[in-house]
A and B are shown apart, each in its own frame.
Chain A
Amino acid sequence: MKQADFWILAPLVLGLGVIQVACVNTEPVTTVEKPSVVPAQTASVDDKWLPLAKDKLHDVDGLRDPGNPGFQLHQEPREELSKLPANKARPVINAFGGSPGLMVSKADNLVDWVQAITSGAIRPRRNIATGTGIEVEPPVMDMDILLNPNGSMPPVRFPHRAHTMWLACANCHPAIFIPQKGANPIRMYKILEGEQCGICHSAVAFSLTECSRCHSVQRIPSSLVNPSANKGGGIP
């Protein structure tokens, strides 16, 4: 990198962090011109779940209209999410002391949702109220499926239990996965395109960058299990 490039890029990167921190503050926007006072207020828990917009100048969440009459009635994300088990596999990458603009991802809402429901931290309703005609609670099914036994990655253990605590059978079967052994050629490319597992994972369930959470089974070398299966050094 040329020295001239450095002097252009360095303030750009620094300024990015500083100004976006300033935007989170509830102070007037004039603090942007005095960035030196801003970073002291950043490294707090609240950075994990940013507040909804507070006024017209600081629309922090970027979606909700602060001019909307119903705005003040909305629940703040951190009010609920901070009580739930944290997703420890997903540290917040936050290079500039809390600047939200440089958070790489807040996938999962920074919550381990499976642990949240299995531990009882949340007890979501599993059906709609009586009188709607849909009152059946879907069953929880405890059956693990081993996928990808011969691939280069560690095999996948698919837990039906964690999925059926959230979903009904018909959410996945038979439209997405045919309930029959060997009938579903699962490919990472399709998943990354938002098909198969990718319909939920990386969109609303935990993200596809947590490889080992699915590819979780330690493969035992076949030579250890059955020495005769070792074709290379086997005795005829």
Chain B
Amino acid sequence: MIDKVPLPSWMAILILSTTLITPAWAEYADVVINKRAEQAGMRPVIFPHWFHRIRFTCNVCHNDEGFKMKVGANNITMAELVDGKFCGMCHNNENKIAWSLDRCDMCHSGLPGLSSGIQRGDPTRGPGYK
């Protein structure tokens, strides 16, 4: 039976199965932000929730800094960050909390072509999830 399946088709099955089914292995709740970045010639931003939540509670960003708790609802520009809003409240030269905004590559670190969204949610998320 096994001899009747030609070798090239086996290879095709293996290659297709890995390329089509394989998702990204990002950590739970990593966020890709690519509304403008790639259009402006920068890599997409990868925001790791895990990295931030071991250092800050949720309210610091989602209440104090004004990030809405919904994917796509935040419409931030670099100009606002430079003015000290959103990420710029910590990522600046004044607070000594986090690296400043001139370290472009630290945040604009994603692979080209990624689409915006939160990664690795459970399959229970429903049809209205955005």
Judge if A64 is at the interface, Cβ distance under 8 Å.
yes
Is the contact region of chain B dominated by helix, strand, or loop, or is it mixed? loop
Type the 1/0 row for A106-149, where 1 means its CB is closer than 8 Å to any CB of B: 11110101001100001011111101101000100000000000
Given A16-B17, A63-B110, verify A166-B59 contact (CB < 8 Å): yes
Partner of B24, one of A19, A63, A69, A111: A63
The reply to whether B54 and A194 contact each other, CB–CB distance below 8 Å, is no
Given A108-B28, A125-B55, A204-B29, verify A15-B13 contact (CB < 8 Å): yes
* Min distance, Cβ A15 to any Cβ of chain B, angstroms: 4
The reply to whether B43 and A65 contact each other, CB–CB distance below 8 Å, is yes
Given A65-B110, A127-B60, A138-B63, verify A12-B69 contact (CB < 8 Å): no
The reply to whether B13 and A62 contact each other, CB–CB distance below 8 Å, is no
Partner of A12, one of B13, B70, B129: B13
Compute the total of residue contacts between A and B using a CB distance below 8 Å: 205
The reply to whether B126 and A192 contact each other, CB–CB distance below 8 Å, is yes
Judge if A73 is at the interface, Cβ distance under 8 Å.
yes
* Min distance, Cβ A135 to any Cβ of chain B, angstroms: 9
Q: How far is the CA of A109 from the CA of B24 in the complex (A)?
A: 14
- Which B residues touch A124, using CB under 8 A? 53-57
Partner of A73, one of B106, B119, B128: B106
Judge if A3 is at the interface, Cβ distance under 8 Å.
yes
Judge if A98 is at the interface, Cβ distance under 8 Å.
no
- Which A residues touch B111, using CB under 8 A? 59, 62-65
Judge if B40 is at the interface, Cβ distance under 8 Å.
no
The reply to whether B30 and A63 contact each other, CB–CB distance below 8 Å, is yes
Judge if A202 is at the interface, Cβ distance under 8 Å.
yes
Instruction: Assign chain B's interface to a size class.
Output: 35 or more
Q: How far is the CA of A128 from the CA of B55 in the complex (A)?
A: 11
Judge if A55 is at the interface, Cβ distance under 8 Å.
no
Judge if B83 is at the interface, Cβ distance under 8 Å.
no
Type the 1/0 row for B103-130, where 1 means its CB is closer than 8 Å to any CB of A: 1111011111010001111111111111
The reply to whether A62 and B63 contact each other, CB–CB distance below 8 Å, is no
The reply to whether B105 and A127 contact each other, CB–CB distance below 8 Å, is no
Q: Identify the closest chain A residue to B10 (Cβ).
A: A11
* Min distance, Cβ A98 to any Cβ of chain B, angstroms: 13
- Which A residues touch B65, using CB under 8 A? 128
Q: How far is the CA of A189 from the CA of B126 in the complex (A)?
A: 8
Given A63-B32, A65-B109, A128-B89, verify A171-B63 contact (CB < 8 Å): yes
Q: Identify the closest chain B residue to A73 (Cβ).
A: B106
- Which B residues touch A131, using CB under 8 A? 94-95
Partner of B49, one of A15, A100, A138, A204: A204
By a beta-carbon cutoff of 8 Å, the part of chain A in contact with chain B is 3-4, 7-8, 11-12, 15-16, 19-20, 23, 49-50, 59-65, 68-71, 73-75, 77, 80-81, 84, 100-101, 105-109, 111, 113, 116-117, 122, 124-129, 131-132, 134, 138, 165-168, 170-171, 189, 192-195, 198-200, 202-204, 207-209
> 20 new A-B pairs (CB below 8 Å) besides A129-B90, A166-B59, A203-B121?
A12-B13, A63-B26, A63-B111, A64-B109, A77-B50, A80-B54, A81-B27, A101-B18, A124-B53, A126-B57, A128-B97, A131-B94, A131-B95, A134-B64, A166-B57, A168-B59, A171-B58, A194-B125, A200-B58, A203-B125
The 10 closest A-B pairs by CB, nearest first: A62-B24, A70-B105, A193-B128, A168-B59, A193-B126, A192-B126, A194-B129, A204-B29, A15-B14, A207-B122
